[in-house]
Amino acid sequence: MADAIRMIDLYVMGKQYTVPETLTIIEALEYAGYQIKRGCGCRAGFCGACATVYRIAGDFELKVGLACQTKVEPGMYLAQIPFFPGRKALFDLERIRPSVADFARLYPEVFRCLGCSSCTKVCPQDIDVMQYIAYLQRGDFARAADLSFDCVMCGLCVSRCPAHIVHYNAALTARRLYSRYLAPPDAFLKERVRAIEAGAFDHELQQLIDADKTRLQELYNNRDIE
């Protein structure tokens, strides 16, 4: 029942190629003959390596997306962004706190947001980037952490920001601060770690290691399941 796959024309950095219409942008580049080195990581929308800008013939809009997560369209003008410089503040997590003052020392540009919303418009993950920047300005690390969580750090926001903010790095710092200092700790985890370090399970585990395969099989097949 295989249907014939339609071929379409598109342009890679201005040159025309004909490719099957079912491909993603990355696959189309490969189909055209490019051996990709930069701009390709997970091929599944998780790593942010493949940020891309493109236009469609006849359309005024400059579009953006993840090349591995965008299907080709007829008349696309494609280019890859191999690298986009972004600043990362260096810090010692044990020596900073989730406070506006500490954060402003690391990422002063966050407080210069012009409110243009370019970052939000460009985000391939549909994150309200400008909103989490606003949370950061207020020192609301919990909300910023929650809202920015699905960020894949592709850097498209940074490429468009007139205030030179490096949103993804600021957000990552915020999440680390939130988790380290504000998220409630799991009470039992500590207890378990102490028990392991005190050797509480050593004996029982050694018995399992010493057990022969038949015995292990029996234990395994009859273990109770939560």
Partner 1 sequence: MVYTPHLQELMKKVEETRPSRVGVHYPRMTAAERQEVLRRFHPDFIEAGFRQLQVGVDKGSRVPLEMADILEAGSRLRGAALDLNRCAYDVDVLVIGGGGAGASAALEACAAGVSVMVATKLRFGDANTMMAQGGIQAADKPNDTPCIHYLDVVGGGGFYNVPELARALVMDAPLVIEWLESLGAMFDKKEDGTMNTIHGGGTSRKRMHAARDYTGAEIMRTLRDEVYNRGIKVVEFCPAVELLLDSSGRAAGAVLFNLETEEYLIARAKTVIIATGGSGRLHYQGFPTSNHYGATGDGLVLGYRAGAKTIFADSIQYHPTGGAYPPQLLGLLVTEKTRGLGGTPLNINGAQFVYHLETRDVESSAIIRECKERGLGVPLPTGSTAVWLDSPLIELTHGEGTIERQLPAMLRQFARFGVDIRKEPMLIYPTLHYQNGGLLIDEHGRSTVENLYVAGETAGGIHGRNRLMGNSLLDIVVFGRRAGRHAAARSGEVRPDGFSLEHVWNYEKELESTGSAGGRVAPILLPRYTHR
Span 120-159, contacts to partner 1 by CB under 8 A: 125-126, 145, 149-150, 152-153
* H or E element, residue 191: helix 187-197
Compute CA 34 distance to the chain's CA centroid, rounded to the nearest angstrom.
25
From 73, 16, 70, 62, select the one nearest 39 (Cα to Cα).
Answer: 70
Burial class (CB in 10 A: 0-12, 13-18, 19+), 100: middle
Binds 114: which of partner 1, ligand FES, none (CB < 5-8 Å by kind): none
Binds 16: which of ligand FES, partner 1, none (CB < 5-8 Å by kind): none
Residues of this chain that interact with ligand FES (CB under 6 A) are 40-43, 45-50, 66, 68, 152
Binds 120: which of partner 1, ligand FES, none (CB < 5-8 Å by kind): none
Q: Which are the contacts of 44, defined by CB distance < 8 A and separation ≥ 6? A: 68, 69
Q: Is 101 in the site for partner 1 (CB under 8 A)?
A: no
**In the window 1-60, what residues touch partner 1 (CB under 8 A)?**
1-3, 22-24, 27, 30-38, 40-47, 49
For partner 1, the closer of residues 13 and 114 by Cβ is 13
For ligand FES, the closer of residues 28 and 113 by Cβ is 28
Q: Is 61 in the site for partner 1 (CB under 8 A)?
A: no
For ligand FES, the closer of residues 43 and 63 by Cβ is 43
φ/ψ bin of 176: left (φ > 0), alpha (ψ from -120 to 50), beta (otherwise): alpha
Neighbour count for residue 152 (Cβ, 10 Å): 22
Size of the site for partner 1 (CB under 8 A): 75
Least gap, CB of 173 to ligand FES (angstroms) = 22
Long-range contacts of 147-150 (CB under 8 A, 24+ apart): 148/174, 148/175, 149/175, 150/125
